[in-house]
């Protein structure tokens, strides 16, 4: 799971609503892969991100120093971080309900049981 993906994910446990974002990452294994720098991509991507959540996520992975706290000049170069870092093993936790979603072999499983899901 890449941080860009994480920035889009929200818990859909019943009753949680918008408080299901962002999910808290507890990573036990991460991987950093090289990504071709694509300024056009990055420039367009940034406005779509929930920046605070991105910073929190990066912090939880110990890479906070690679990202600015606030959007600033030159942030574009840091955006590759969105695509470079991947959580391979770990969990995503709903901040409201505490429900854990597993990440296994890089793939989050966001399935809920019928009882848990919003009807």
Partner 1 sequence: MQETPGDSLCPKYCMLGRPRAPETISPGFLGRFYSVITPRTSWWSGPAVLLLTPASQSLRMDSEAAAQLERQHVHEVYESTAAYFSDLQGKAWPRVRQFLLEQKPGSLIADIGCGTGKYLRVNSQVFKLGCDYCGPLVDIAHSKGCEVLVCDNLRLPFRDRSFDAIISIGVIHHFSTAQRRTRAVQEMARVLAPGGRIMIYVWAMEKNHRHFDKQDVFIPWNPALCSQFLAEPVPSGQKHVCGQLRVAPESPPQHPTCSVCGYPMCLQKRQESQRSHSLDGSGTPSCCGKLAEVKDEDSGFYNILGRSFRSWFFSRSLDECTLKEQAEKAGHATEEWAPCHPVSLQPSKLHHLDLGDQEPLSEEQDGAIDPGFIQTTEWQSVPGVLRPLPGVSHKGTQNEQQGGCFLRQSTVGQSCRSAYPGGGEKLDTSQDWKRTSLPPPFISLAATMSTGASQLEALGSKAFIRYYHVFREGELCHLLKQYVPELQVLSSINDHGNWCVVAEKKPGLMAH
Identify which of residues 55 and 65 has a Cβ nearer to partner 1 in the complex: 55
Q: Judged by CB under 8 A, does residue 9 bind partner 1?
A: yes
Interacting residues with partner 1 between 26 and 45 (CB under 8 A): 38, 40-45
Task: List b or e across 4-18, with b for residues whose CB sees 16 or more CB atoms inside 10 angstroms.
Answer: bebbebbbebeebee
DSSP string, 57-81: HHHHTT-GGGS-SS--TTHHHHTHH
CB of 88 to partner 1, least distance (A): 10
**How far apart (Å, rounded) are the C-alpha atoms in residues 48 and 30?**
24
Interacting residues with partner 1 between 52 and 81 (CB under 8 A): none
Helix, strand, or coil (residue 8): coil
Identify which of residues 41 and 65 has a Cβ nearer to partner 1 in the complex: 41
Q: Judged by CB under 8 A, does residue 12 bind partner 1?
A: yes
- List, in order, residues 6 or more apart from 15 with CB less than 8 Å away: 97, 118
Burial class (CB in 10 A: 0-12, 13-18, 19+), 54: buried
User: Which among 3-11, 24-32, 62-70 is the span making contact with partner 1, rule CB under 8 A?
Assistant: 3-11
**How many residues sit in the footprint of partner 1 (CB under 8 A)?**
33
Residues near partner 1 (CB under 8 A) are: 1-2, 4-5, 8-12, 18, 21, 38, 40-45, 48, 50, 83, 101, 105-112, 114, 117-118
């Amino acid at each position: 799971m890449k941080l860009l993906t994480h920035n889009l994910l929200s818990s859909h446990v019943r009753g949680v609503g918008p408080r299901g974002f962002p999910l808290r990452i507890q990573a036990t294994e991460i991987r950093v892969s090289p990504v071709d720098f694509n300024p056009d991509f990055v420039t367009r991507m940034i406005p779509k991100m929930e920046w605070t959540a991105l910073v929190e996520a990066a912090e939880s992975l110990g890479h906070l120093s690679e990202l600015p706290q606030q959007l600033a000049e030159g942030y574009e170069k840091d955006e590759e971080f969105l695509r470079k870092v991947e959580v391979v093993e770990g969990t995503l936790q709903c901040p409201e309900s505490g429900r854990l979603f597993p990440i296994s072999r890089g793939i989050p499983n966001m399935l809920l049981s019928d009882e848990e899901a919003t009807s």
